[in-house]
Amino acid sequence: MNQYIINGNHPLFGEITISGAKNAAVAIIPAALMVDGVCRIENIPQISDVTLLFSILDELGAKVRVLNQHAVEIDSRHIHSTKPSPDMVRKIRASYYLIGALLGRFGQASVAMPGGCNFGVRPIDQHVKGFKALGAEVTEGNYVHAAAKSASGRLQGANVYLDVVSVGATMNVMMAAALAEGTTVIENCAKEPHIVDLANFLNSMGADIKGAGTDTIKVRGVERLNGGTYCIIPDQIEAGTYMTAVAATGGQLLIKNIIPKHMECISAKLMEMGVYVEEMDDTLLVRRTGPLQRTNVKTQPYPGFPTDMQPQIAAVLSLAQGTSLVTEAVWSNRFRYVDELRRLGAQIQVDGRVAVIEGVDCFEGAPVEACDLRAGAAMVVAALAAKGTTEISNVQFIERGYEDLVGKLRSVGADIRIVDVPDEALTTESIG
């Protein structure tokens, strides 16, 4: 089992290039199953979730050919199963996108309930509601079994109203509807950049989807999707994580290969805290030289502040002057990392969905645990700013969503390394 060892309290200087978006890739790769041909996907992030999805596709009969470090070809012309291995599916939350993809193309899917990070109740009831509206019979248990009820074996276009703004449900229903008979209108949609990216991918393969990124998405079903080439957008959350890292440590980073519009919600909060942020085409210059100022943060669906950045911003606010409030309005249990930050000296009290943060002068290195992907990123941000040495365990969670985190940080002056620790030597229990 790997650990990160970080000797902190060093400012960061240099350039970091952002990888492809994890949240887009883990939907686009399952969506490749809908293509009756060969699709080339570029700007693929090298993360463990992507590797696992490739294994799942291979098991179902797709041929995945790695072209280079960040590009693959996926040939889904000879899929022989719509029931992926439960052992693999349960390792990744995004496996639920397999349901929409397989149900849309083949009219049936049988997928084990997904796994992944555990930071609150994350039901798939809105996904199921959408599938049923499209004419599927769905049963739930340890598996989700879904099958089109029509004589043609295809889903039928329908009006779908999502009771809550759900990224996963928006994407899953949109995928399923792309190959349905007739037109589907999905209302109360989420608007995240990776939803737009998935729609653009499907459209590049021959789908007819309009309105992605707005409240209402209209999908005209087509007979089939053909092959093509598509490039995944840069990762908003990876970029935001490095922005918080330089905010915590001080220094200056040039963060390259970003879409500035996607970063505005994060940039705005950091600027409120006294961090200098300058947009330059597909690059951000981020600099922190003076003390950090308090602010309040509330997570919201896009274009609001992203829940996937909440742990990282909390780590930075723990070093700000004064009292800050962080409100988690998306997930019910996303403050599990707080106990770990306290080990480093953070002064945080949690009351329901609100964390009250009293800023401290500095962190002191200590052993901590990554209890999920973004909590792990927060531990890295905090450790980079801490005096002394911090050991972070359970880093497999971090590697689910960050490509070469250690290498990128070392390139800008961080003292961070990976060590292999025997499982029996670990004193903390893996969670999630």
Q: Which residues are catalytic?
A: 117
Give the C-alpha separation, 203 to 207, whole Å.
Answer: 4
Write the CA distances from 304 to 285, 310, 366, integer angstroms: 21, 12, 33
Do residues 327 and 335 lie in contact, with contact meaning Cβ atoms separated by under 8 Å?
A: no
Nearest to 266 by CA among 295, 289, 244: 244
Nearest-5° Cα angle at 384, 326 to 277: 60
Q: Position of tokens 């490039």?
A: 231
Do residues 243 and 284 lie in contact, with contact meaning Cβ atoms separated by under 8 Å?
A: yes
Do residues 275 and 288 lie in contact, with contact meaning Cβ atoms separated by under 8 Å?
A: yes
The dihedral over CA atoms of 310, 312, 314, 317, expressed in degrees to the nearest 10, equals: -130
> Is residue 303 reached through a cis peptide bond, with omega within 30 degrees of 0 on the bond before it?
yes
Nearest to 170 by CA among 151, 138, 197, 148: 197
Do residues 44 and 85 lie in contact, with contact meaning Cβ atoms separated by under 8 Å?
A: no
Sign of CA dihedral 8, 10, 12, 14: negative
Write the CA distances from 10 to 385, 409, 416, integer angstroms: 7, 11, 11
